[in-house]
């Protein structure tokens, strides 16, 4: 992108970067992104949800990003594109790049002599890098991270503060792991004998692909025998638990507080809503959408939208419905009895 002494980025340059059609003054300088409601001079906002369309008439943004159907709703300079939200993501990444610390190893960090750390990597305060670990080019390891023995961090990986990678974990290039995440802890592998539990050694790894995002305090267990695998471009929110030997297919997005029990395979391009609970040893088809708070107890072989959580109701109405739901089994038994030959008068 051409350099300029003037602050901000020209709107025409943002249009080219986002693959959008420019309508208006391409020389407008944009400093930052904003919402339609709170935008001001030097900002660019976007419209992706039609409930906010009236705000196009009142926004103080310098420019907006809109779909073709909304282009005539505002006289502001605009970027017109079929997917305004995706264009906004590209624009925001350009205007607000993540800060990059200087390469080098902080004096308080401990790097095992057998580790291979690229000269362009950044190792922050009080980091521990274990034996025979590999840290790739331009990778950033935040303060107080612990990276176990024989782990592999690809190029341009970013570990935020306090991440723990157990030994032999693998993180692919450009992946980001946020603060407090724990990758590669023992899976919940125990066997019962005579009323006591025997711990089963977990000898697999966690293998994370490229361009994966893992949220704060998310935990991913190592495999019991084979590996737990997070494929390319998976996006995991905060406080997710993924059990041992799971496979999460490429381009799948999972919202916060989801729990996935061991040995479940989630397909590619799936979307799982917050607080959904998925039992172990299941198969979830590619392209499946699971609503928030849904419990999944059987495999899903056909893609679609699956929902099990009951929508919120006023408490008194919920109690009324729950009382009838509790009686459904008895009601079904009575109907079945009535349908027996000789009971309805149709057969005798």
Rounded to whole angstroms, the Cα distance separating 90 from 38 reads 20
Grouping H, G, I as helix, E, B as strand and the rest as coil, residue 22 is: strand
Check: CB of residue 60 under 8 Å from CB of residue 11. no
Q: Quick one: tokens of 74?
A: 């505002």
Q: Quick one: tokens of 92?
A: 């925001």
List the one residue out of 5, 2, 18 whose CA is nearest residue 63. Answer: 18
CA angle (157, 162, 168) in 5-degree steps? 55
Rounded to whole angstroms, the Cα distance separating 207 from 284 reads 20
Q: Quick one: tokens of 128?
A: 């521990």
Q: Is 244 a catalytic residue?
A: yes
Calculate the alpha carbon distances from 269 to 93, 207, 346 in Å: 23, 19, 52
255 alpha-carbon distance from chain centroid: 6
294 alpha-carbon distance from chain centroid: 17
For 269: left if phi > 0, alpha if psi spans -120 to 50, otherwise beta; the answer is: left
* Given the residues 244, 269, 281, 324, the one annotated as active site: 244
Rounded to whole angstroms, the Cα distance separating 39 from 23 reads 19
Rounded to whole angstroms, the Cα distance separating 38 from 40 reads 7
**Would you name the residues annotated as active-site residues?**
244
């Amino acid at each position: 992108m051409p350099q300029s002494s003037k602050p901000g980025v020209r709107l025409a340059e943002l249009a080219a970067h986002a693959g959008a059609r420019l309508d208006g003054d391409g020389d407008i300088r944009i400093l930052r992104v904003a919402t339609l409601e709170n935008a001001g001079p030097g900002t660019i906002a976007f419209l992706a949800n039609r409930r906010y369309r009236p705000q196009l008439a009142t926004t103080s943004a310098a420019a907006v990003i809109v779909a073709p159907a909304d282009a005539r709703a505002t006289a502001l300079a605009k970027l017109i594109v079929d997917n305004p939200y995706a264009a906004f993501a590209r624009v925001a990444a350009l205007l607000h790049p993540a800060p990059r610390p200087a390469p080098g190893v902080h004096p308080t960090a401990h790097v095992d002599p057998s580790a291979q750390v690229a000269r362009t990597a950044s190792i922050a305060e009080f980091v521990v890098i274990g034996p025979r670990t590999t840290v790739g080019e331009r990778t950033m390891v935040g303060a107080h991270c612990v990276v176990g023995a024989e782990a592999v961090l690809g190029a341009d990986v970013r570990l935020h503060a306090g991440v723990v990678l157990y030994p032999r974990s693998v993180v692919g290039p450009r992946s980001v792991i946020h603060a407090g995440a724990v990758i590669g802890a023992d899976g919940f592998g125990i066997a019962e004998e005579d009323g006591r539990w025997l711990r089963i050694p977990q000898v697999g790894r966690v293998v994370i692909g490229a361009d994966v995002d893992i949220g704060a305090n998310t935990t991913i267990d190592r495999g019991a025998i084979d590996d737990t695998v997070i494929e390319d471009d998976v996006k995991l929110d905060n406080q997710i638990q993924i059990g041992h030997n799971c496979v999460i297919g490429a381009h799948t997005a999972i919202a916060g507080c989801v729990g996935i029990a061991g040995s479940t395979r989630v397909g590619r391009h799936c979307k799982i809503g917050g607080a959904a609970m998925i039992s172990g040893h299941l198969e979830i088809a590619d392209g499946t959408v699971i609503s928030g708070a849904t419990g999944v107890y059987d495999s899903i072989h056909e893609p679609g939208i699956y929902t099990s959580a009951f929508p919120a109701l006023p408490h008194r109405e919920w109690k009324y419905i729950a009382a009838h739901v509790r009686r459904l089994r008895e009601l079904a038994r009575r109907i079945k009895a009535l349908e027996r030959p000789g009971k309805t008068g149709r057969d005798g």
